[in-house]
Amino acid sequence: MKPATSWGRLSADPHHVVGLNDPSRVKTLVCHGPQPGVAHGMGRSYGDISLNPEGTLWVTTGLDHFIAFDNSTGRLVCEAGVLLRDIQRLVIPRGWILPVTPGTQLVTVGGAIANDVHGKNHHVLGSFGDHVQNLTLIRTDGEVIQCGPHERADWFAATVGGSGLTGVITQAEIQLRRVAGPWLDTETVPYANLDEFFRLADDSEADWEHTVSWIDCITGGGGRGLFMRGNPTNAEDRSAPEGRKLTMPIVPPVSLVNRLSLRPFNMAYYHIKKWEAGRAITHYEPFFYPLDNLLEWNRMYGPKGFFQYQSVVPREVGQDAVQAMLKEIARSGDGSFLAVLKTFGNRQPVGMLSFPQPGVTLALDFPNHGERTHKLFERLDAIVREAKGRIYLAKDARMPRELFEAGYPRLAEFMKYRDRGISSGLSRRLMGS
């Protein structure tokens, strides 16, 4: 048994860790085990979706082999433990790119599918699952299921965003997208309040592929921020950024993100970035993955770890709901530094339990202060519930079961596809097994 943690570092419970390093042995290893297990990739989800305290973790990072890549069609086939980083580095020099990528490239393909991750271009290209053509699922009863949007589509819809609960994803085929090179034409626009944010978001959707914003949820009750947008561009003969890696070397005894530090952090960040605002040519790595060069940044929240609270609420009530959440946060005195506000496009997701839905999503991080933090979450939950929104499973470590059930109306349909030999902390907490 080894202690395993996820990105939020909220727990380090013992797990029976089994490496699935050889695809030909996966079936033997996951079938009819003594206790339920769950697949675990890079451990970049924040809560308990990839954990299974006292149970088995099937670690997929050894399934890191490419299987085929057709340069003329952009079809890539690879094992599920391949990192998005390795795909980007392989295909971008050949004129292709992952159509959808989340805010870190240090995740596995299997994890990207099981969480149906989204990126800054949701309004144009949807989520990760929209680009998966086929996947291989190994069930713990030994059945091997090939599925995709046109083949056993029900299994595909259950597995994309299915939190790893329908079987172990071992292989996937992804349709990549043409790209001129690694550069983006980007613009940073400061905004003073939510009105301005929504106007910027609406104005940008037609002409910009990528949109996202950092929001200062402390200063003046929250609401100002920096809107970032970008389009792939053909900029030649530039040298790529050095990509110097820094590591957070220790876990500080208390969170470095706290009531004292947040106000100056936010103020400094806003003003420095405001000063730098405007157009630029930016390399894809700092644009898509701003934190990937700061290794183990999650340690800065101290030994008790931190929570992410990411919700999406429908557009009609979006502005009021976001305003109300910012108000609650301001009232609590705790705040979030890595606060991200983004609109989703008007499209239905592939997966039964996929997170994205038309509306606006707010992601917030909070150091774990126990009861005090949970009290704040209850107030935020009330706003999300009222707005008929939902919370992102990949980030969640604590939402109440009724909020999950209300937010994910296709849950009953999904349950038919669950694998009885698979269980996670999250599935026991929210689905009862």
Partner 1 sequence: MNNKNRIVIIGATSAIAEHCARLWLQKQSIDLTLVGRDAQRIERVATDLKVRSPESEIRIVRTGFLDPEAINATVENIVQSGDVDVVLIAHGSLPEQADCQDDLKACREALDVNGVSPVLYAEAFAKQMAKTNHGTIALIGSVAGDRGRKSNYVYGAAKGLVTRYAQGLQHRFAGTEVKVVLIKPGPTDTPMTAHFKGKGAKLASVESVAKQIVDGIEAGKPVIYAPGKWWLIMMIIRHLPATIFNKINI
Q: Does 65 bind partner 1 (CB under 8 A)?
A: yes
As beta bridge partners, residue 261 has: none
Cβ at position 422, least distance to partner 1 in Å: 20
Cβ at position 83, least distance to partner 1 in Å: 8
Q: Does 5 bind partner 1 (CB under 8 A)?
A: yes
Kindly tell me which residue out of 17, 256, 277, 317 binds partner 1, with binding defined by CB under 8 A.
Answer: 17
Q: Does 415 bind partner 1 (CB under 8 A)?
A: no
Cβ at position 42, least distance to partner 1 in Å: 7
Backbone angles phi, psi at 359, to 5 degrees: 150, -150
Q: Does 66 bind partner 1 (CB under 8 A)?
A: yes
Nearer to partner 1, 78 or 137 (CB): 78
* Cβ neighbours for 380, distance < 8 A, ≥ 6 positions apart: 309, 311, 325, 328, 329
**Separation between Cα atoms, residue 362 and residue 213, nearest integer Å:** 10
Nearer to partner 1, 57 or 137 (CB): 57
Q: Does 110 bind partner 1 (CB under 8 A)?
A: no
Q: Does 174 bind partner 1 (CB under 8 A)?
A: no
Q: Does 251 bind partner 1 (CB under 8 A)?
A: no
Kindly tell me which residue out of 28, 35, 54, 67 binds partner 1, with binding defined by CB under 8 A.
Answer: 67
Cβ at position 31, least distance to partner 1 in Å: 19
Quick one: residue 164, left, alpha or beta (phi over 0 = left, psi -120 to 50 = alpha)? left
Give, in degrees to the nearest 5, the angle at Cα 256 between 253 and 258. Answer: 110
Strands 66-70 vs 75-79: parallel, antiparallel or unpaired: antiparallel
Say if CB 270 and CB 220 are below 8 A apart.
no
Nearer to partner 1, 4 or 172 (CB): 4
**Separation between Cα atoms, residue 283 and residue 107, nearest integer Å:** 20
Identity of the residue numbered 270: Y
**Separation between Cα atoms, residue 211 and residue 206, nearest integer Å:** 11
Nearer to partner 1, 4 or 135 (CB): 4
Say if CB 15 and CB 3 are below 8 A apart.
yes
CA atoms within 13 A on the CB side of 5: 13
Cβ at position 225, least distance to partner 1 in Å: 32
**Separation between Cα atoms, residue 53 and residue 178, nearest integer Å:** 42
Q: Does 93 bind partner 1 (CB under 8 A)?
A: no
In total, the chain counts a number of residues equal to: 433
Kindly tell me which residue out of 53, 64, 187, 233 binds partner 1, with binding defined by CB under 8 A.
Answer: 64
Q: Tell me how crowded residue 331 is: count the other CB atoms within 10 A of its CB.
A: 11
Cβ at position 69, least distance to partner 1 in Å: 5
Nearer to partner 1, 57 or 313 (CB): 57
- Find the part of the chain contacting partner 1 (CB under 8 A) among 4-12, 29-37, 302-310, 355-363: 4-12
Give, in degrees to the nearest 5, the angle at Cα 309 between 231 and 411. Answer: 95
**Contacts to partner 1 from residues 22-61, by CB under 8 A:** 22-24, 42-43, 59, 61
Cβ at position 316, least distance to partner 1 in Å: 41
Nearest to 163 by CA among 408, 426, 407, 384: 426
Listing DSSP states for 32-81 in one string gives: T-SS-EEEESS--SSSSTT--TTSEEEE-TT---EEEEETTTTEEEEETT
Q: Does 195 bind partner 1 (CB under 8 A)?
A: no
Nearer to partner 1, 40 or 342 (CB): 40
Q: Does 21 bind partner 1 (CB under 8 A)?
A: yes
Q: Does 68 bind partner 1 (CB under 8 A)?
A: yes
Instruction: Give 370's DSSP letter.
Output: T
Cβ at position 75, least distance to partner 1 in Å: 12
Nearer to partner 1, 49 or 387 (CB): 49
- Tell me which residues touch partner 1 (CB under 8 A): 2-5, 12, 15, 17, 19, 21-24, 42-43, 59, 61-62, 64-69, 71, 90
